[in-house]
Chains A and B, each alone.
Chain A
Amino acid sequence: MNPQEIPVYEVFVQADALSFPTHVGSLRAASPAFALQLAKETFCRREDAHDVWVVPSQAISRARRDATAALPTTTSDKRYRLPSGYDNAPHWKRFKAQAMTIEEVAADMRTKGR
Chain B
Amino acid sequence: MEDAQRFHDFMQRIEAGEKIESTDWMPKEYRDLLIKQIHMHGISEIMGAYPEKEWVTKAPTIRRKLALNAKVQDEIGHGQMLLRLAEDLSRPYGRGREELMDDVLDGRVKFHNVFHLEAPTWADAGVIGFMVDGGAIITQAMLLESSYAPYARMLKRIVAEESFHMQHGESVVLALAEGTEAQRRMLQDAIARWWPAMMYFFGPREMGPSSKKMMEYKIRTMTNEQLRQKFINRYVPRIRALGMVIPDPNLYQDPDDHVWHYTDPDWNWFNEVVHHNTGPMSQARLALRRQAHTEQRWVREAAFQAGQVLQNQGA
Contact = CB atoms under 8 A, between A and B. Distances in A.
A65 to B, nearest CB: 14
Contact of B137 (A82, A95, A102, A112): A102
B263 interface: no
B229 to A, nearest CB: 6
B162 A94 contact: no
Given A83-B166, A88-B174, A95 B242 contact: yes
A112 B171 contact: no
A110 B159 CA distance: 15
A82 B165 CA distance: 9
Given A18-B153, A81-B164, A109 B138 contact: yes
B115 to A, nearest CB: 21
Nearest to B172: A86
Q: Give the residue among A20, A82, A108, A114 with the most B Cβ atoms within 10 A.
A: A114
B251 interface: no
A85 B67 CA distance: 10
A101 B177 CA distance: 20
A95 B164 contact: no
A109 B18 CA distance: 19
Given A83-B163, A106-B141, A114-B229, A88 B170 contact: yes
Given A18-B156, A114-B258, A109 B19 contact: no
A106 B144 contact: yes
Contacts of A67: none
User: Looking at chain A, what size class is its interface with the partner chain?
Assistant: 20 to 34
B178 interface: yes
A97 B238 CA distance: 6
B152 A18 contact: yes
B167 interface: yes
A97 B239 CA distance: 9
B234 interface: yes
B168 interface: yes
Interface string B1-38: 00000000000000000110100000000000000000
B163 A96 contact: no
A114 B233 contact: yes
A105 B138 contact: yes
- Give the one of A19, A82, A91, A109 with max B CB within 10 A: A109
Nearest to B226: A112
B230 interface: yes
Given A19-B153, A102-B159, A112 B222 contact: yes
Contacts of B70: 80-81
Interface of B: 18-19, 21, 63, 66-67, 70, 137-138, 141-142, 144-145, 149, 152-153, 156, 159-160, 162-164, 166-168, 170-171, 174, 177-178, 222, 226, 229-230, 233-234, 237-238, 241-243, 258
Given A80-B70, A95-B174, 13 more contacts: A17-B18, A17-B153, A18-B149, A81-B164, A83-B167, A94-B178, A97-B242, A100-B170, A102-B160, A105-B141, A106-B159, A109-B138, A110-B145
